[in-house]
């Protein structure tokens, strides 16, 4: 072998490692089918070593085709004509990977641990002077929080042989075990089960995603004495209570030249497991939060046209239904039907800017009042705005800026009315070095209830967050991070009812600092 290598080198001209890597990448793209899951990971582990001067490079490549391991030794050299050539020296077949039967199916195996300090667990702001007699304020109740987060993911697509239709069939289990040292009622276990089924055949593709979440938490909801709380104050402890959540999305797409047609369906469901308590009973604590079941399901169609090679304009339609549970002690709820007309764009506007957005009118239909049911809204057939957007700008090799926006009409988690739910999020990421990165996030969220009738409609809450963070990757398996967030709960309503005045009853501040580590196996 040494004689062969020396014979090759004797005819070589100077070559760089960068040229070799570029050459191998080009050769792989020409000779292999990228739609095959097996070849996506070929040449994943490539090392380069100089041999006997600068004239040639020996490349060691470990190939995994459907997890069949093969080791090859190549010489890449430049001929006198300047053309690069690849000379195979040795090939050794090792055999099937034993990770998961015939193929390797474990795609993710990690363990994370985080220690946090939460200065205001209930995001409450009403001081003690406003509390009903015999009650203590929840303001500034703090706790240390330990969160343990294992993760395992498997992909069964490699076990299906050389077929090209099924690109991914993944299952992942992502639990969080959170221990609140000073507030044991908030300790919970969150079990998430994620499934992705993705494939393509010809011009037809499909993607099915589902996330089922079971929270094993306290069945007794918190009580905000006097009902003095922000919409965002009650949301955080709600997510720690006993419940089931489901988020699903099904997408089919057919491509034809520059056009595509895309049927879409989504589901969002909350099935709460907390106790319900009639507010009129003397045994019910003041301000007890009755969390109701609610859901949103919709389906429709998008039609897209590529106005640029990497950018498509879209027009879409959705028909949907929102369900809100009606409590036994009231006849009020805001279940409704809706139709949306959506205009958007998706893809790369420029090489460094990715965009995806859909905006349009949302036509609502609420049931009229009857002898047994009341819909507490001013307008039974309103036209409101719907919008969602994601932008990612890679401004330089080291700087990335992302923006997320969503505005839609949703239904309250503790009562009878709908509200406008808005999110604005801007995140800047800077790579300070090869291992250290810095992030700075600014987020604003609004819950506007002013379309509702009665006292429930005299609310408009905001939460503004500033969150810097550092992350250090010791290597590809081990990383650590330090994070801080400051949250301000702000009243945005100029016409609060007397029972909710002054605004300090609804406003709050919370600091959350945490340090965490993750190990990937």
DSSP lists the bridge partners of residue 168 as 198
Residue of 197, 211, 195, 318 lying closest to 264 (CA atoms): 318
Which three-class secondary structure state does DSSP give residue 500?
A: helix
Output the pLDDT for position 107. Answer: 85
Which three-class secondary structure state does DSSP give residue 494?
A: coil
Distance of CA 10 to the CA centre of its chain: 55
CA distance 63 to 238: 49
Q: Specify the CATH class of 106-520 in words.
A: mainly beta
Q: What is the mean pLDDT of residues 33-51?
A: 37
Output the pLDDT for position 507. Answer: 95
Output the pLDDT for position 46. Answer: 38
Which three-class secondary structure state does DSSP give residue 159?
A: helix
Backbone angles phi, psi at 138, to 5 degrees: -90, 0
Output the pLDDT for position 23. Answer: 59
411-414 CB contacts, 8 Å cutoff, 24+ apart: 411/294, 411/322, 411/324, 411/334, 411/335, 412/231, 412/324, 412/334, 412/449, 412/456, 413/234, 413/235, 413/238, 413/270, 413/291, 413/292, 413/294, 414/234, 414/289, 414/290, 414/291, 414/292
Take residue 123 and report the two structure tokens written for it.
């995001």
pLDDT digits 0-9 by tens, 58-81: 454 454 444 445 556 666 666 666
Query: What is the chain's mean pLDDT, rounded?
Result: 87
Between 74-88, 196-210, 256-270, 485-499, the lowest mean confidence (pLDDT) is in 74-88
> CB–CB of 290/414 below 8 Å?
yes
CA distance 276 to 325: 12
CA distance 426 to 439: 10
Output the pLDDT for position 45. Answer: 33
Output the pLDDT for position 276. Answer: 97
Query: Residue 72 contacts by C-beta under 8 Å, 6 or more apart in sequence?
Result: 60, 61, 63, 88, 90, 91, 92
Q: What is the mean pLDDT of residues 366-370?
A: 95
DSSP state of 19: H
> Given a cut of 80, is residue 241 above it in pLDDT?
yes
CA distance 377 to 416: 10
Taking the complete model, does pTM exceed 0.85, yes or no? no
Burial 21-48, CB ≥16 within 10 A → b, else e: bebbeeeeeeeeeeeebbbeebbeeeee
| pLDDT over 70 percentage in the chain | 80
Distance set, CA 310 to CA 4, 194, 354 (Å): 46, 29, 9
> Given a cut of 50, is residue 35 above it in pLDDT?
no
CA distance 240 to 186: 6
pLDDT range class, residue 54, cuts 50, 70, 90? very low
On the 0-12 / 13-18 / 19+ scale of CB atoms within 10 A, 195 is middle
> Given a cut of 80, is residue 9 above it in pLDDT?
no
CA distance 490 to 507: 5
Tell me how crowded residue 200 is: count the other CB atoms within 10 A of its CB: 16
> CB–CB of 185/204 below 8 Å?
no
pLDDT digits 0-9 by tens, 68-123: 455 566 666 666 666 666 666 555 544 444 445 444 688 899 999 999 999 999 99
Q: What is the mean pLDDT of residues 281-298?
A: 96
| H or E stretch covering 168 | strand 166-173
Query: Residue 325 contacts by C-beta under 8 Å, 6 or more apart in sequence?
Result: 292, 293, 294, 333
> CB–CB of 62/70 below 8 Å?
yes
Q: What is the mean pLDDT of residues 481-510?
A: 92
Between 399 and 12, name the one with better pLDDT: 399
Query: Residue 311 contacts by C-beta under 8 Å, 6 or more apart in sequence?
Result: 345, 346, 347, 348, 349, 355
Domains in the chain: boundaries: 2-96, 106-520
> Given a cut of 50, is residue 267 above it in pLDDT?
yes
| H or E stretch covering 343 | strand 336-350
The maximal CA–CA distance of the chain, rounded, in angstroms, is 97
pLDDT digits 0-9 by tens, 425-445: 999 999 999 999 999 999 999
pLDDT range class, residue 31, cuts 50, 70, 90? very low
Output the pLDDT for position 498. Answer: 85
Tell me how crowded residue 474 is: count the other CB atoms within 10 A of its CB: 11
Output the pLDDT for position 50. Answer: 41
């Amino acid at each position: 072998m040494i004689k062969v290598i020396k014979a090759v080198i004797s005819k070589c001209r100077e070559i760089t490692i960068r040229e070799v890597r570029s050459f191998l990448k080009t050769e792989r793209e020409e000779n292999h089918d990228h739609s095959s899951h097996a070849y996506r990971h070929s040449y994943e582990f490539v090392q380069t070593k100089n041999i006997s001067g600068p004239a040639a490079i020996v490349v060691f490549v470990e190939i995994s085709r459907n997890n069949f391991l093969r080791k090859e030794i190549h010489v890449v050299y430049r001929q006198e004509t300047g053309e690069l050539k690849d000379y195979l020296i040795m090939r050794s077949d090792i055999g099937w990977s034993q990770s998961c039967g015939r193929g390797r199916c474990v795609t993710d195996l990690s363990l994370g641990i985080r220690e946090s300090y939460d200065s205001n667990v209930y995001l409450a702001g009403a001081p003690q002077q406003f509390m009903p007699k015999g009650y203590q304020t929840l303001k500034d109740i703090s706790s240390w929080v330990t969160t343990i987060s294992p993760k395992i993911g498997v992909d069964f697509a490699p076990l299906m042989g050389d077929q090209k239709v099924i690109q991914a069939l993944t299952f992942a289990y992502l639990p969080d075990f959170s221990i609140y040292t000073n507030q044991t009622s908030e300790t919970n276990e969150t079990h998430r089960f994620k499934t992705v089924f993705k494939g393509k055949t010809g011009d037809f593709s499909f993607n099915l995603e589902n996330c089922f979440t079971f929270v094993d938490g306290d069945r007794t909801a918190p009580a905000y004495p006097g009902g003095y709380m922000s919409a965002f104050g009650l949301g955080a402890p709600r997510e720690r209570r006993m419940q089931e959540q489901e988020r699903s999305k099904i997408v089919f797409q057919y491509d034809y030249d520059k056009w595509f047609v895309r049927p879409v369906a989504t589901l969002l469901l909350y099935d709460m497991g907390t106790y319900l308590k009639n507010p009129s009973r003397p045994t019910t604590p003041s301000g007890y939060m009755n969390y109701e079941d609610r859901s949103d399901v919709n389906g429709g169609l998008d039609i897209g046209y590529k106005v640029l090679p990497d950018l498509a304009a879209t027009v879409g339609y959705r028909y949907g239904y929102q369900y809100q549970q009606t409590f036994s002690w009231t006849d009020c709820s805001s279940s409704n039907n809706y139709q949306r007309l959506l205009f958007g764009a998706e893809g790369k506007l420029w090489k460094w800017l990715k965009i995806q957005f859909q905006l349009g009118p949302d036509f609502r239909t609420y049931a009229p009042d009857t002898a047994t049911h009341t819909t507490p809204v001013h307008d039974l057939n309103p036209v409101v705005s719907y919008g969602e957007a994601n932008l990612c700008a890679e401004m330089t090799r080291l700087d990335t800026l992302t923006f997320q926006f969503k505005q839609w009409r949703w239904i309250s988690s503790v009562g009878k009315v709908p509200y406008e739910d808005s999110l604005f999020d801007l995140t800047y990421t800077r790579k300070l070095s090869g291992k250290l990165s810095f992030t700075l996030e600014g987020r604003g969220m609004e819950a506007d209830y002013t379309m509702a009738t009665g006292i429930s409609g005299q609310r408009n809450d905001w939460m503004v967050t500033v969150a810097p963070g550092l992350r250090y990757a010791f290597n590809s398996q081990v990383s650590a991070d330090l994070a801080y967030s400051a949250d301000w709960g702000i009243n945005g309503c100029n016409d609060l009812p007397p029972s909710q005045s002054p605004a300090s009853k609804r406003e709050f501040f919370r600091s959350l600092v945490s340090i965490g580590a993750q190990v990937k196996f």
